[in-house]
Amino acid sequence: MKKRNRSQRIYRSGSIRSQRRKNMETTETKFRNHISIVIERFGTIFIGIVIVLAGSALDDLKEIVKHMDNLKEHLADEFAGASLFLVLFLIALFWQLRRWAKTYISIQGQAIVIEKNTWNRKVQTIGIKHISNVNLSQNILEMMLGTCTVKLDTDSFSTADDTDVKLVLKKEKAEWFRQTVFAIMESEGNRSGAEVYAQDTNHQIESGAYKETAGITDEENGKNITETTVTANVNDMIWHGVFAINLFAVLLAVGGIGGSVSKLLSGIQEGISGQNILEIISGWAVAFFIGATAVWDTVKDFIKYYQYQVTRKSDKIYISYGLLKKVSYVIPVKRIHGVTVRQTWIARIFKRYRVELINVGMGDDDEEKDAFFLLYQSRADVIEKMQKLLPEFAEAIELPMQRQKKSVILLKAIPAVIWAVILLAADQLAKEIIGAHFLWINLVCAGGWLVVLVILAGGYVTDAFACDKKSLAVSSGVFGRETTYMHYPQIQYFSVNQNIVAKKLRVVKGNAYLLASASDSRHDLPYMPEEAVEELKEYLLAR
């Protein structure tokens, strides 16, 4: 009898342990967003409403002062308006709070499940194997609250808008969440979220960075890559801002200042009057605004990329930077499908280069489009750091680029002639409509044609290509230059076209389509010799 009771107790104890294990698998990794997400979602709308109402209240206050004899009626109207606003505000706040309370995130097996139980139940399931990277960012409010935004980018090009997810979590939980996701990704289906969670019960934080107990160590991955970190000092950041200056902003600044100086000189010659003073002040105000905008283009990069740091650790790239908004990217190397080297007009003059990564899912948000890998620096420094941080593309970076054949100038002349005919016809039509001859019409048309020639000439000089058995590189641009390096396995397909003149010249141009986000998927191939195209086809078929 005692033995049976003992066996029953053992069975019951085993059942309890089994139930606890089952509960852990289903509930331990289930959580909500941090409640501050309500402030982030609702705060901007609320501030906008308050500004509008404040302006309206000032106008109403003037009316109240004018009609003090009807003070009660005016106050009653204001109270009714304020009450309506308060009711609408409370309804919107209640909806956001309910949305937060009824939304749960969980890691179930090999998937992340987001469950929303508001008016209708909606379950969003994202396979972890389809996640390309997990990014963290902190704005000023999140720095104060100790929270951060978690952005999940997926490698599905067609459903990127539907599958990309943003969460707001406490910083420690966000770091744990990211490492757990990467640990499951690296296990290639061998570990579930519950197993990773059980392995990492302590969730330790050391020196402000999450201890990667949930991830697979370098020894487990069998990687022999030495951990390398690249940082930038203040001098590097300042020069980066200088080389990143936009040519259009500079032209605006010069034009604005020149116009203001011209206005000041003409005002002095005509005699200073009240009207002239106002025109001069307004002109200088515009010039100051335009000049400040050009300066901001330099300063903003220093602020945005403050404390820039890139680390290669095992099979991941860690990128972090930011002053007013801190950003942290972790990108698996196998998810990097290409590398882009950019140069602005001033960077081309001083031979400086900036490197960006092409990663599926990343770049579909405005805040991600300017995310870079290496700051502006010399070519020798770029090659040296690429060999340490991303040796997978270091060899491609060193490919010698081949410029287009001189016979391509004939192909470039065709659009130049077409535009000349169009602008000449526009010039004659404008004169017929106005009914008089004006020199400025000729100047505008001539200037337009000159711009066309500069664009065509700049494209001819800049466009180039290179290929070997592993990689393809293409360059394009007019004043600046953009060179993209890609490996053949990541190229989905390429298409070529050839008009009559190109056929006679035995050159072909086309497009290469890379597995990447919309802004990085299509890359124009310059005019290439037919032999090079055939060679490229063989490389693509042999991948």
Report yes or no: 143 and 193 within 8 Å, Cβ to Cβ. no
Give me the numbers of helices (H) and strands (E) for the chain, helices first please: 19, 22
Q: Range with the lowest mean pLDDT among 149-163, 200-214, 416-430? A: 200-214
Residue 222, pLDDT score: 38
Residue 430, pLDDT score: 82
Strand partners for 279:
none
Average the pLDDT over 508-534 and give the result. 87
Average the pLDDT over 246-252 and give the result. 69
Strand partners for 167:
150
- Answer yes or no: is pLDDT of 15 > 60: no
pLDDT band of 316, cuts 50, 70, 90: confident
| Average pLDDT of every residue of the chain | 77
Residue 211, pLDDT score: 37
Greatest mean pLDDT range, 55-59, 220-224, 315-319:
315-319
Contacts of 53 (CB under 8 A, 6+ apart): 85
- Return the higher-pLDDT residue of 471 and 515: 471
Average the pLDDT over 230-239 and give the result. 86
Q: Which amino acid is at 209?
A: A
Residue 28, pLDDT score: 47
Q: Range with the lowest mean pLDDT among 144-148, 303-307, 322-326, 498-502? A: 303-307
pLDDT band of 216, cuts 50, 70, 90: very low
- Return the higher-pLDDT residue of 295 and 91: 91
Specify the DSSP class assigned to residue 369. Answer: T
Its sign, for the CA torsion 259, 265, 266, 272, is: positive
| Residues, the chain | 543
- Answer yes or no: is pLDDT of 234 > 50: yes
Crossing angle between the packed helical segments 36-66 and 71-101, to the nearest 10 degrees: 170
- Return the higher-pLDDT residue of 409 and 431: 409
Q: What does the pLDDT look like over 457-466, one tens digit per residue?
A: 999 999 999 9
- Answer yes or no: is pLDDT of 516 > 90: no
Residue 297, pLDDT score: 66
Nearest to 257 by CA among 295, 289, 279: 289
The two structure tokens encoding residue 66? 């004018």
DSSP letters, 107-140, are EETTEEEEEEESSSEEEEEEEGGGEEEEEEEE-H
Residue 304, pLDDT score: 80
Residue 40, pLDDT score: 81
Biggest CA–CA distance in the chain, Å, is 119
Burial class (CB in 10 A: 0-12, 13-18, 19+), 149: buried
Residue 469 has phi, psi (to 5 degrees) of: -70, -15
- Answer yes or no: is pLDDT of 239 > 70: yes
Average the pLDDT over 177-190 and give the result. 78
The torsion angle over the Cα atoms of residues 186, 191, 195 and 197, rounded to 10 degrees, is 30
Q: What does the pLDDT look like over 149-173, one tens digit per residue?
A: 998 887 765 544 455 688 999 998 9
Residue 120 has phi, psi (to 5 degrees) of: -120, 145
Q: How far is CA 362 from the centre of its chain?
A: 7
CA distance 39 to 56: 24
Per-residue H/E/C for 523-534: EEEEEEEHHHHH
pLDDT band of 218, cuts 50, 70, 90: very low
pLDDT band of 20, cuts 50, 70, 90: very low
- Answer yes or no: is pLDDT of 69 > 70: no
Residue 418 has phi, psi (to 5 degrees) of: -60, -45
Q: Range with the lowest mean pLDDT among 44-48, 314-318, 384-388, 393-397? A: 44-48
Residue 73, pLDDT score: 63
Average the pLDDT over 225-239 and give the result. 83
Residue 68, pLDDT score: 57
Strand partners for 166:
151
Residue 481, pLDDT score: 93
Residue 382, pLDDT score: 93
pLDDT band of 529, cuts 50, 70, 90: very high
- Return the higher-pLDDT residue of 518 and 22: 518
- Return the higher-pLDDT residue of 375 and 364: 375
Burial class (CB in 10 A: 0-12, 13-18, 19+), 318: middle
Specify the DSSP class assigned to residue 226. Answer: P
Residue 311, pLDDT score: 93
- What residue ranges in 235-392 does DSSP mark as E strands? 309-313, 316-321, 326-332, 336-343, 353-359, 374-377
- Answer yes or no: is pLDDT of 212 > 80: no
- What residue ranges in 64-190 does DSSP mark as E strands? 103-108, 111-117, 121-127, 131-138, 147-154, 165-170
Average the pLDDT over 224-250 and give the result. 79
- Answer yes or no: is pLDDT of 541 > 80: yes
Q: Is the whole-model pTM more than 0.75?
A: no
- Percent of the chain past pLDDT 70, that is, above it, reads 67
Q: Range with the lowest mean pLDDT among 98-107, 195-204, 247-256, 528-537? A: 195-204
Q: What does the pLDDT look like over 99-147, one tens digit per residue?
A: 888 888 888 888 888 888 877 888 888 888 888 888 888 988 888 889 9
- Answer yes or no: is pLDDT of 321 > 50: yes
Strand partners for 328:
136, 320
The two structure tokens encoding residue 486? 């890609």
Average the pLDDT over 195-201 and give the result. 47
- Return the higher-pLDDT residue of 221 and 257: 257
Specify the DSSP class assigned to residue 31. Answer: B
